[in-house]
Amino acid sequence: MSPEDFLKEVQAIGEKFLLKLQKLPKADPVEIASFTVVLLFIATVLVLTIIACSCCCYSCCGCDGRPDPRYKKSRVRPAAH
């Protein structure tokens, strides 16, 4: 997919979303509830992704940005006989 096609898709999704928001005050309660559930699901996925990425970066790099030596991979050396 070319960047132009991707931008067109994002723009089309954005326009559909804005149209849905404009029609929301006149919608059925069931439609409002389902729209809210979808928005909550998307927000939950984004928040969990941010938490997972921050936890991964924190355990790898630590607060000060330097790697934590406890998490370095150690090399396995062959045993001398």
Q: Give the separation between CA 11 and CA 9, rounded to whole angstroms.
A: 5
What is the pLDDT tens value at each position of the chain, 81 positions in all?
788 899 999 999 999 988 988 888 888 899 889 989 998 999 999 999 998 888 777 666 655 555 555 555 666 677 776
pLDDT at 46: 93
Residue 58 exposure: Cα atoms within 13 Å on the Cβ side:
7
Q: What is the pTM of this model?
A: 0.54
